[in-house]
């Protein structure tokens, strides 16, 4: 119907179709649509990267990420989160460092992923640095970040700091 109506030239419609195919686990159709999309935007790339990550194809996600002419925070979150989700913790945290070095500020999704990476690689020092950033940035009251911080401390064997984070979050 999209093709016969002529809407296939609309980025908005095509992005939603790519997203639908990726979420319905028909990644090949999503890739095909992406390849014929005449005017790709950041969202087009982000959707396909998310599809690759969802299907565990991190190599294709990395290739697409590297090819992107422009990235936004959602792009970085998808890659950092995807790498850490599949336990490539050091690589995910390295990518986080590059992101931060480019002047992009992490949001609660970035921080949650990186804190999970700290747990996976037992990088409590990086977790403490992130905790300092969270305190300075004023997002320490966010439930997701507070829980991620507490989880990181406790899983890394520092129960007292984990409990303190939980107490501070509840007050």
pLDDT tens profile 154-169: 999 999 999 998 888 7
57 φ, ψ to 5°? -95, 75
Note the pLDDT of residue 143: 81
Inside any domain, residue 78: no
Report the C-alpha gap between 71 and 80 in whole angstroms. Answer: 13
Note the pLDDT of residue 49: 97
Inside any domain, residue 76: no
157 φ, ψ to 5°? 90, 10
Q: Among 42-56, 66-80, 134-148, which stretch is predicted with the lowest mean pLDDT?
A: 134-148
What domain range includes position 27? 1-70
Q: Among 3-7, 28-32, 35-39, 156-160, which stretch is predicted with the lowest mean pLDDT?
A: 3-7
169 and 93 part of one domain: yes
59 and 109 part of one domain: no
Report the C-alpha gap between 106 and 150 in whole angstroms. Answer: 18
Inside any domain, residue 145: yes
156 and 95 part of one domain: yes
56 and 116 part of one domain: no
Distances (CA, A) of 90 to 119, 148, 151: 11, 18, 18
Sign of the alpha-carbon torsion through 58, 92, 85, 146? negative
Note the pLDDT of residue 6: 54
Inside any domain, residue 120: yes
- pLDDT band per the 50, 70, 90 thresholds, residue 140: low
46 and 108 part of one domain: no
- pLDDT band per the 50, 70, 90 thresholds, residue 52: very high
Mean pLDDT of 49-70: 96
Alpha helices in 24-88 (DSSP H): 27-36, 42-54, 58-67, 73-85
62 and 117 part of one domain: no
Inside any domain, residue 79: no
- pLDDT band per the 50, 70, 90 thresholds, residue 8: low
Pick from 126, 128, 118, 129: which is nearest to 155 by CA? 118
95 and 164 part of one domain: yes
Note the pLDDT of residue 71: 96
113 and 150 part of one domain: yes
Top mean pLDDT of 7-21, 116-130, 132-146 is at 116-130
The domain boundary residue, chosen from 35, 70, 105 = 70
112 and 58 part of one domain: no
147: pLDDT strictly greater than 70: yes
105 and 38 part of one domain: no
Report the C-alpha gap between 53 and 59 in whole angstroms. Answer: 9
Has this prediction a pTM greater than 0.85? Answer: yes
End-to-end CA distance of the chain: 54
Report the C-alpha gap between 90 and 20 in whole angstroms. Answer: 31
63: pLDDT strictly greater than 60: yes
Domain harbouring 34, CATH code: 1.25.40
The domain boundary residue, chosen from 40, 70, 100 = 70
Domain count, the chain: 2
């Amino acid at each position: 119907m999209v093709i016969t109506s002529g809407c296939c030239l609309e980025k908005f419609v095509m992005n939603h179709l790519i997203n639908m195919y990726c979420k319905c686990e028909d990644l090949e159709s999503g890739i095909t649509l992406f390849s014929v999309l005449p005017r790709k935007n950041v969202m087009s790339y982000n959707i396909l990267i998310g599809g690759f990550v969802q299907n565990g194809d991190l190599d294709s996600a990395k290739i697409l990420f590297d090819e992107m002419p422009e990235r936004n925070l959602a792009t970085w979150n998808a890659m950092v989160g995807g790498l850490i989700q599949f336990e490539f913790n050091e690589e995910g945290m390295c990518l986080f460092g590059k992101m931060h070095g480019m002047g992009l500020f992490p949001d609660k999704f970035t921080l949650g992923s990186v804190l999970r990476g700290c747990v996976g690689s037992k990088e409590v020092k990086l977790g403490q640095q992130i905790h300092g950033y969270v305190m300075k940035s004023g997002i320490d009251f966010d439930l997701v970040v507070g829980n991620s911080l507490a989880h990181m401390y406790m899983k890394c064997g520092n129960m007292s700091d984990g409990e303190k984070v939980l107490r501070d979050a509840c007050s």
